Amino acid sequence: MKAFTTLDGLVVPVDRSNVDTDAIIPKQFLKSIRRTGFGPNLFDAWRYLDEGQPEQDNSRRSLNPDFVLNQPRYQGAQVLLARENFGCGSSREHAPWALDDYGIRALVAPSFADIFYNNCFKNGVLPIVLPADVVDGLFRDVAANPGYRLHIDLSAQTVTTPSGASHGFSVDEFRKYCLLNGLDEIGLTLRHSDEIRAYEARRARSEPWIFGGAA
Amino acid sequence: MNSLSLYEKLWQAHVVREEPDGTALIYIDRHLVHEVTSPQAFEGLRIAGRPLWRRDSILATADHNTPTTNQTVIADPVSRLQVSTLDQNCKDYRITEFPMGDRRQGIVHVIGPEQGATLPGMTVVCGDSHTSTHGAFAALAMGIGTSEVEHVLATQTLLARKSKTMQVLVEGTLSLGVTAKDVALAIIGHIGTAGGTGHAIEFAGSAIRGLSMEGRMTLCNMAIEAGARAGMVAVDDTTLRYLEGRPFAPHGAQWDAAVAYWRTLHSDEGAHFDRVVTLDASRIEPLVTWGTSPEMVTTVNGRVPDPAAEPDPTRREGMQRALRYMALQPGMPITDIAIDKVFIGSCTNSRIEDLRAAAAVVRGRKVAANVKLALVVPGSGLVKAAAEAEGLDKIFVEAGFEWRNPGCSMCLGMNDDRLSPGERCASTSNRNFEGRQGAGSRTHLVSPQMAAAAAVTGHFSDVRAFLN
Ligand code: SF4
């Protein structure tokens, strides 16, 4: 996994609550058996005027000029500012894959849906929860200041605005450790294989029906 | 002794080890796999050269891409590759799969319980958010991402943190024509789509105990629409009656031992919940969603709400956007909303009881002239066969419905079953998001009976008028 330490990134605001993963990456792109290449189809239905199809040349499609991602001032954004319950709905990891592939490295919102939040960490994308009034203020500041950037420091657990205001955020120690070091969680878990085997042996005695397939 | 909630019992029974910050390694008993969220996980396993930890924990099926008409071949080459990739992975790793064409094939959340592969006391995961369905069996069941699918394939465990707990108590008796789907929508309408975020929900109370396993699955299925990764119901006689004799369920002496343990899978008297929500079952009515989030819901005799009355600006804007997308006017009676298509199916409402309930409304009636397509898609090959044995297929077909083969179908339209832009559907599925059933599609979530009533009248109608 990619490590995340600090980021100084341009901010793009997506001002809607309950943005679901169907909106982040529509279903037709889920037919892919790869992990990459989803960036051009991030927010596909909002971003383009036509209906996108997999393996299409996206550079030839008409962009929706009203959608925030298409506005010149937000090109190259690495931080996505969002509203509550971002990433709700389907568990598709294609959502963080699409965000990552597009170039988004961090998200800031008052809340995230559980599965999406989890999926982000597995892909080196940092979801940051800040209080709703702080996020509200950030939406106002972004709108008022072209080129608005945020400085994010995972180690210090802070988001700092251009004016120097600093907002702390919380993150689980273990997740932070994995993300800072870009660690492979499977590799880490396999170090505890003996414990897993011992656990399995206990369960096989107490609940033998768990093991083995159909009768 | 400490009073424990059902969730705490399930959690404690599966902790392999715990980090100082509370991150735990949780053992996974059952892993359900489908074609959309697994190919990258198997690829990851191969690239890292890691073996599969325990293949007998896995049950696989293709459901999202499968055609519901001709099930011998998939026309779309991209879909076909995804399904054949699953077949190949199952072959390579010797995993039990019910492939397309197998009579046991179906929607993963229908076949797990149907096979008895979902059992009380298990941890059940699947790369699919509606894995919460399996919590109906007092299992700790949750949806995971593809990286986690790979983690489970390689280690039989997940890294997780204990959730907060929420108890949703539904007391009293449901009126005729009011189903588990309406209960689920009523709860979501009450707590909101983020109301359960960070929580595991236990559904309890006399109305829940009165539900069949099918009804409990419908309810737990929608827990994720309330933001909760897991929903669950305690074990009782209904649970045991459903499971006895199913292929993957224990038999003989093991069954007795299992039952003795399963009987303990309920919340203890006085167990603590971080939040308790209570609903009066007798006050729940048949519901219809009007917007683009499951929380945007009202009673069938209600009206489309007016955003102008919403004080919160973000919510107001959300409502306005939803009404624009749905092409609805504030104040419009729900029963005035005419529909183009009807979809009876999905992991929420495609089980035998759902089909029976819909057929009871449809029997002797015809699909209204303005309805272009009315689809019934059974949840599995076995549900389809059971329905046909009862003659339900004939009732639907005589009324003008199409009787299809199992799969996810128009719930998300990854196969050919889709709405065209602007089309409006009465759907028994679980998500009314923008574009969910096809680009520009307009979805109204309802129960199977309500979908049937809409099909025969051409607009939303109070199903209770059909049942009296
Ligand atoms: S029926 Fe719909 S919600 Fe259920 S698993 Fe299939 S696509 Fe997902």
Tell me the pLDDT tens digit for each residue of A58-116: 999 999 999 999 999 999 999 999 999 999 999 999 999 999 999 999 999 999 999 99
Per-residue pLDDT at B314: 87
Q: What angle do CA B285, B290, B292 make, to 5 degrees?
A: 125
Residue A152 scores a pLDDT above 60: yes
Residue A192 scores a pLDDT above 80: yes
- Residue B339: CB within 6 Å of ligand 1? no
The pLDDT mean for chain A works out to: 96
Q: What are phi and psi for residue A14, nearest 5 degrees? A: -115, 95
Please list the alpha-helical segments (H only) found in B3-68: 6-12, 39-48
- Residue B430: CB within 6 Å of ligand 1? yes
Per-residue pLDDT at B84: 95
Per-residue pLDDT at B70: 78
Distance CA A200, CA A208 (A): 10
Would the CB atoms of B27 and A115 count as touching at under 8 Å? no
Between positions 74 and 93 of A, the ones with CB within 8 A of B are 83-85, 88-93
Q: Closest chain A residue to B156 measured between Cα atoms?
A: A196
Would the CB atoms of B439 and A172 count as touching at under 8 Å? no
* Closest by CA position to B44, among listed A106, A95, A34, A81: A34
Please name the residue whose Cα sits nearest to atom 2 of ligand 1: B411
Nearest to B154 among A28, A118, A186 (CB): A186
Eight-class DSSP state of B178? -
- What pTM was computed for the model? 0.96
Residue B312: Cβ-neighbour burial (10 angstroms; 0-12, 13-18, 19+): exposed
Residue B181: Cβ-neighbour burial (10 angstroms; 0-12, 13-18, 19+): buried
Residues of chain B with pLDDT under 70: 1
Per-residue pLDDT at A212: 77
Cα-Cα-Cα-Cα dihedral sign, residues B283, B286, B290, B292: positive
Which residues lie below 8 Å from residue B311, measured CB to CB, with a gap of 6+?
none
For residue B346, which atom of ligand 1 is closest to its CA? 1
Decide if the complex's ipTM is over 0.90: yes
Query: B259 — contact with chain A (CB < 8 Å)?
Result: no
Would the CB atoms of A89 and B414 count as touching at under 8 Å? no
Residue A194 scores a pLDDT above 60: yes
- Residue B412: CB within 6 Å of ligand 1? yes
Instruction: Choose the residue to mutate in B430, B433, B436, B445 for probing ligand 1, maximizing ligand atoms within 8 Å of C-beta.
Output: B430
* Residue tagged 């003989």 (tokens): B252
End-to-end Cα spacing for chain B: 50
Per-residue pLDDT at A214: 55
Distance CA B382, CA B61 (A): 14
Residue A55: which pLDDT band, with cuts at 50, 70 and 90? confident
Facing residues of B106 across strands? B380
Query: B318 — contact with chain A (CB < 8 Å)?
Result: yes
Would the CB atoms of B22 and A51 count as touching at under 8 Å? no
Distance A109 CA to ligand 1 centre (A): 27
Which residues lie below 8 Å from residue B435, measured CB to CB, with a gap of 6+?
A22, A23, A26, A45, B441
Q: Closest chain A residue to B255 measured between Cα atoms?
A: A209
Instruction: Choose the residue to mutate in B33, B61, B109 for probing ligand 1, maximizing ligand atoms within 8 Å of C-beta.
Output: B109
Which of B96, B146, B296 to probe the A interface (max A CBs under 10 A)? B146
Would the CB atoms of B16 and A192 count as touching at under 8 Å? yes
CA atoms within 13 A on the CB side of A161: 16
Would the CB atoms of B23 and A172 count as touching at under 8 Å? yes
Residue A127: which pLDDT band, with cuts at 50, 70 and 90? very high
* Core vs surface per residue B244-283: b (16+ CB within 10 A) or e: eebebbbeeeebeebbeebeebbbeeebebeeebebebee
Residue A213 scores a pLDDT above 70: no
Nearest to B129 among A17, A90, A213 (CB): A90
- Residues on chain B touching A208 (C-beta within 8 angstroms): 254
Residue B70 CA: distances (Å) to CA of A205, B104, B405, B416: 46, 16, 8, 11
Q: Provide the 10 A C-beta neighbour count for residue A171.
A: 18
- Give the E-state strand segments of B324-428 in sequence order: 341-344, 373-376, 402-403, 424-427
